[in-house]
């Protein structure tokens, strides 16, 4: 596989977290264009927009030195989602975010991967705090945030009015 980023490879008991590869584009496009979780929030995009989003993710690693890791289930070798750190130009803080592809939800993968990314954020990047911007109706992502020790600070994200700000203190894990 062709390396497209400077992302390190991280491992958990069930997952490999690696940078995006060209072969990840079809699964990412399926997720972005048709995932029920995105449809429910009115957030699906066209195939062309998914392609631009995929390239933006690669550029994120180049610009910031962090971004989304592709999650690969070790037992199958298949990509099952993305977890990582993002900070777009108009965002106030670095976000810890997760997206699981259809059929991978409800198995603890997001929590397992996000814990590993938090450890990496502390050890490799020296970060002391992360945020998650979670839609107020997305109870599944809120449950992941709670399992990670995050709490809502009661405010809305300035760049996404339907999203609550969840705070992940990294130095107390």
Please tell me the total count of domains within the chain: 1
| 81 occurs within a structural domain | yes
CATH number at residue 17: 3.40.630.30
| 73 occurs within a structural domain | yes
Percent of the chain residues topping a pLDDT of 90: 74
| 113 occurs within a structural domain | yes
pTM beyond cutoff 0.75: yes
pLDDT at 171: 67
| 5 occurs within a structural domain | no
Domain hosting 31: range is 10-169
**How confident is the model over 111-153, as pLDDT tens digits?**
999 999 999 999 999 998 899 999 999 999 999 999 999 999 9
Q: Which residues of 17-37 are buried (b: 16+ CB within 10 A; e: fewer)?
A: bbbbbeebbebbbebbbebeb
């Amino acid at each position: 596989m062709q390396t497209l980023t400077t992302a390190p490879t991280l491992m958990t008991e069930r997952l490999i977290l690696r940078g995006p590869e060209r072969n990840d584009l079809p699964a990412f496009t399926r997720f972005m264009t048709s995932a029920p979780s995105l449809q429910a929030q009115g957030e699906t995009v066209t195939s062309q927009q998914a392609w631009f989003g995929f390239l933006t993710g690669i550029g994120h690693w180049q610009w910031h030195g962090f971004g989304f890791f592709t999650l690969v289930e070790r037992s199958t070798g298949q990509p099952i989602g993305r977890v990582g750190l993002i900070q777009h130009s108009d965002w106030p803080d670095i976000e810890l975010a997760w997206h699981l592809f259809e059929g991978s939800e409800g198995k603890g993968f997001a929590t397992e991967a996000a814990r590993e990314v938090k450890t990496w954020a502390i050890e490799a990047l020296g970060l002391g705090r992360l945020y998650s911007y979670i839609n107020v109706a997305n109870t599944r992502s809120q449950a992941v945030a709670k399992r990670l020790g995050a709490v809502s600070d009661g405010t809305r994200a300035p760049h996404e009015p339907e999203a609550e700000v969840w705070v992940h203190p990294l130095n107390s894990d």
